[in-house]
Structure 1
Amino acid sequence: MTIKSSISLRDDQHAFAKALVEGGRFPSVSAVVQQGLDLLRQQDADAQADRAALRTLLAERATGDFVTGDDLRARIAARRAE
């Protein structure tokens, strides 16, 4: 279903959208705006997925073994020596 909506664009935004239409990349300014909204929706979904993955990783790390700074430095030194 398509809903007609009135939006306001700055002059530079309208010029850019119109240039995309005139260049044949989109059939209309509306199509340009729709594509922009679709991209924003995808970016939002990606950001939510990234945050969820980070929360999971942090939760896993919080319950894992703790390594002191001295232990970490010793492990790094041992790796460098290899």
Structure 2
Amino acid sequence: MSIKSSISLTEQQDAFARSLVENGRYSSMSSVLQQGLELLRQKTEAETVETEALRELVQRRLKGRMISATEMENRVEDMIKRKRRAVRVDT
């Protein structure tokens, strides 16, 4: 089912959308806008999934074993040294 809706576009948006229709990439302005909305919907859904995954990761980390800032600094330093040795960068 299609729903008619009135929208406002900037001159640049209108010109871009019309150029897509004129160049044959889309059959109508409606098609351009529908595709744009579909991409925005997909992006929003992906961001929601990513945000939830990050929340879960943070919660797992908060429930896990904590280490001190000193221990973390030591681990980071060790990692940097290993990486430098792996690529043979002088320290």
Q: TM-score when scaled to structure 1?
A: 0.88
Q: For 1:58 and 1:21, how far apart are their aligned partners in 2?
A: 45
Give how far 1:76 is off: 3.5
Between 72-81 and 62-71, report the one with greater CA deviation: 72-81
Specify the alignment match of 1:39 in structure 2.
Answer: 39
Q: Which has the higher contact order (CA 8 A, sep 6+)?
A: 1
Count of aligned residue pairs for this structure pair: 82
Give how far 1:61 is off: 0.2
Q: Runs in 1 of length 4+ with deviation above 3 angstroms?
A: 76-79
Specify the alignment match of 2:66 in structure 1.
Answer: 66
Between 64-73 and 14-23, report the one with greater CA deviation: 64-73
**What SS class does the counterpart of residue 5 from structure 1 fall into?**
coil
Cα root mean square deviation, aligned: 1.7
Specify the alignment match of 2:89 in structure 1.
Answer: none
